[in-house]
Chain A
Amino acid sequence: MRRIRVIPTLLMKDGGLVKTTRFKKPVYVGDPINTLRIFNEKEVDELVLLNISANRHDAPIPLEVIQDIVSEAFMPIGFGGGIRSMQHIESLLKSGVEKVILNTVLPNGEALIREASGQFGAQSVVASLDVRKDWVGRHRFYTQSGTQKEGGTPVEWAKRLEDWGVGEIILNAIDRECTYQGYDLELIDSICSAVSIPVVASGGAGQVGDFRQARESGASAVAAGGMFVFQRPNQAVLITYPSQERLKKEVF
């Protein structure tokens, strides 16, 4: 048995939780604290909380709000969205977040990553490697909520980020977000083979069997959004999470 972490990803916008599809079309799914309490009861492995208003010059989420959310959580939380400075990282970690998740700051983030990783430990610095395929099917790294394409391949970026001191990579296939078509296994395999740090597969999970495939492709954890907050086919909001028995039997 090799356990992998199964992580619900929650997106915050204007104080509420939303779910997007391919980084677009946010749909309101509920209040953060209530949702968190449900995930507490379901004993989820970990949570990823991303503030998706951050790149649009809206006010950042006040630290007290994050603190209130995190203090309710009896599982680890990674937080991302609009993080650009050492002060911001420090205040988030002090507020009880285990990990900060960086994306837009990454291309010019060597100094910040080295400093944060040195002071707070590599395990608290996570890179969100948001990837989209270009018109000939090559994987490309994106920042700024999937709007800015960066030069270089995701594999090159993954190696570089590991070298700078990132402790984990969330590998996010933008084109698959909330499509339920399964993870991009080829992408997962290529990144897992290139680095020694844990890789979290994200984007496309539709069923528990998808977790197993990601695990077999080398992922140390899987993240999913839609699968845990929507009930198909009509996308009614329903917070769910697979039982330990099921995960042990079908995934680990």
Chain B
Amino acid sequence: MARAYIVDYGVGNIGSLQNMYKRVTGQLPELTTDLSNLEPGDRLMLPGVGNFGYAMQRLNELDLADPLRQLAQSGKVAMLGICLGAQLLLEGSEEAEEKGLGIIPGQCRKFDRAALPAELRIPHMGWTEVGCRNADHPLAQGQNDETRFYFVHSFRMMPELPEHALFTAHHGIEFCAGVCSNSVVGVQFHPEKSHRFGMQFLKSFANWEIQ
């Protein structure tokens, strides 16, 4: 049976992710900083909260950035970036000097508060409905009109190529709520904090059949 791992680099909430993943799959993901013994079909989750530069520094210090790139390149492991962990998949962010993982071409930019109506605030915090660009995608399974996720972020992902944008959501403007490339997916929202909608999503991720 494929195993599940969470990259444990001291950035982000791991307890709820572990618990929710276990709740939907029966399997408790292992925390790890060693990516050398992953096997084809394994699941790897990259959580993250906070500053883009700080998170990249941590990944670099722990020598995790290159192994993550290689795993993504191999296409053999299903990888899920969550919130800041998703943003790190891109090439960089307006938030920091540090380069991102560059697995998905594109940048992260801050929401422009001036372009939003006064009642919409930055950070974008709260529950938002999510649309899917590709309803046939295995990770969109089980989503419907009711599906909503918890978001908390000030920066948004801007993938260069439209085919890398999987989910969209609205906060004054439409923004990319999920990116995807081969066996790698990244979501701006927090499935582990999104009740049954998050459980459904993590279940889809656990069952995702990658090539």
- Chain A residues with a Cβ under 8 A of chain B: 2-5, 40, 43, 45-46, 67, 70-76, 93-98, 118-124, 167-168, 196-199, 218, 220-221, 244
Which 9 pairs from chain A and chain B are nearest by CB?
A96-B15, A71-B15, A121-B50, A198-B121, A123-B123, A120-B50, A43-B195, A123-B152, A96-B13
List 11 interface pairs A-B (beta carbons < 8 Å), by A numbering. A3-B127, A5-B127, A45-B127, A67-B15, A72-B19, A74-B199, A93-B49, A98-B13, A123-B152, A197-B122, A220-B126
How long is the Cα–Cα vector from A75 to B151 in the complex, in angstroms?
11
At the interface, yes or no: B51 with Cβ under 8 Å from chain A?
yes
State how many angstroms separate the Cβ of A64 from the closest Cβ of chain B.
11
Q: Which of B16, B113, B196 has the most CB of A within 10 A?
A: B16
How long is the Cα–Cα vector from A72 to B49 in the complex, in angstroms?
19
> Are A123 and B125 in contact, with the CB atoms below 8 A?
yes
- Taking CB atoms, residues of chain A closer than 8 Å to B19 are 71-72, 74
How long is the Cα–Cα vector from A4 to B119 in the complex, in angstroms?
10
- Taking CB atoms, residues of chain A closer than 8 Å to B196 are 43
- Taking CB atoms, residues of chain B closer than 8 Å to A94 are 10
Question: When the two chains form the complex, which single residue of B123, B128, B150 contacts A75, counting CB atoms closer than 8 Å?
Answer: B150
- Taking CB atoms, residues of chain B closer than 8 Å to A218 are 118-119
**Which DSSP category, helix, strand, loop or mixed, fits chain A's interface?**
loop
Question: When the two chains form the complex, which single residue of A2, A98, A118, A120 contacts B193, counting CB atoms closer than 8 Å?
Answer: A98
> Are A124 and B50 in contact, with the CB atoms below 8 A?
yes
Chain A residue nearest to B10 in the complex (CB): A94
Task: Flag B130-154 by CB within 8 Å of A: 1 or 0 each.
Answer: 0000000000000000101010111
> Are A196 and B122 in contact, with the CB atoms below 8 A?
yes
**Which DSSP category, helix, strand, loop or mixed, fits chain B's interface?**
mixed
How long is the Cα–Cα vector from A185 to B189 in the complex, in angstroms?
31
> Are A3 and B198 in contact, with the CB atoms below 8 A?
no
Chain B residue nearest to A167 in the complex (CB): B123
How long is the Cα–Cα vector from A122 to B192 in the complex, in angstroms?
20
Known: A67-B15, A71-B15, A120-B50. A198 touches B125 (CB 8 A): yes
- Taking CB atoms, residues of chain B closer than 8 Å to A98 are 13, 49, 152, 193
Chain A residue nearest to B11 in the complex (CB): A120
Q: Number of B interface residues, CB 8 Å?
A: 38
State how many angstroms separate the Cβ of B199 from the closest Cβ of chain A.
7
State how many angstroms separate the Cβ of B63 from the closest Cβ of chain A.
21
Chain B positions 162-204 with a Cβ under 8 Å from a chain A Cβ: 190, 192-196, 198-199
At the interface, yes or no: B20 with Cβ under 8 Å from chain A?
yes
How long is the Cα–Cα vector from A74 to B20 in the complex, in angstroms?
7
State how many angstroms separate the Cβ of B85 from the closest Cβ of chain A.
13
How long is the Cα–Cα vector from A221 to B120 in the complex, in angstroms?
11
State how many angstroms separate the Cβ of A199 from the closest Cβ of chain B.
8
Chain A residue nearest to B190 in the complex (CB): A76
- Taking CB atoms, residues of chain B closer than 8 Å to A72 are 19
- Taking CB atoms, residues of chain B closer than 8 Å to A168 are 123, 125
How long is the Cα–Cα vector from A95 to B15 in the complex, in angstroms?
7
- Taking CB atoms, residues of chain B closer than 8 Å to A118 are 51
- Taking CB atoms, residues of chain A closer than 8 Å to B121 are 196-199, 220
Question: When the two chains form the complex, which single residue of B18, B20, B50, B190 contacts A119, counting CB atoms closer than 8 Å?
Answer: B50
At the interface, yes or no: B14 with Cβ under 8 Å from chain A?
yes
- Taking CB atoms, residues of chain B closer than 8 Å to A45 are 126-127, 150
State how many angstroms separate the Cβ of A205 from the closest Cβ of chain B.
18
Chain A residue nearest to B118 in the complex (CB): A218
> Are A75 and B195 in contact, with the CB atoms below 8 A?
yes
> Are B152 and A4 in contact, with the CB atoms below 8 A?
no
Q: Which of A46, A74, A123, A197 has the most CB of B within 10 A?
A: A74
How long is the Cα–Cα vector from A60 to B15 in the complex, in angstroms?
21
State how many angstroms separate the Cβ of B126 from the closest Cβ of chain A.
5
State how many angstroms separate the Cβ of B173 from the closest Cβ of chain A.
14
How long is the Cα–Cα vector from A1 to B199 in the complex, in angstroms?
25
Question: When the two chains form the complex, which single residue of A40, A67, A97, A220 contacts B125, counting CB atoms closer than 8 Å?
Answer: A220
State how many angstroms separate the Cβ of B116 from the closest Cβ of chain A.
9
How long is the Cα–Cα vector from A74 to B22 in the complex, in angstroms?
12
Known interface pairs A5-B126, A96-B13; 18 further A-B residue pairs with C-beta atoms within 8 A, sorted by A's residue number: A3-B127, A5-B125, A67-B15, A71-B18, A73-B193, A74-B192, A74-B199, A75-B193, A75-B194, A75-B195, A76-B152, A93-B13, A96-B16, A119-B50, A121-B84, A168-B123, A168-B125, A220-B126
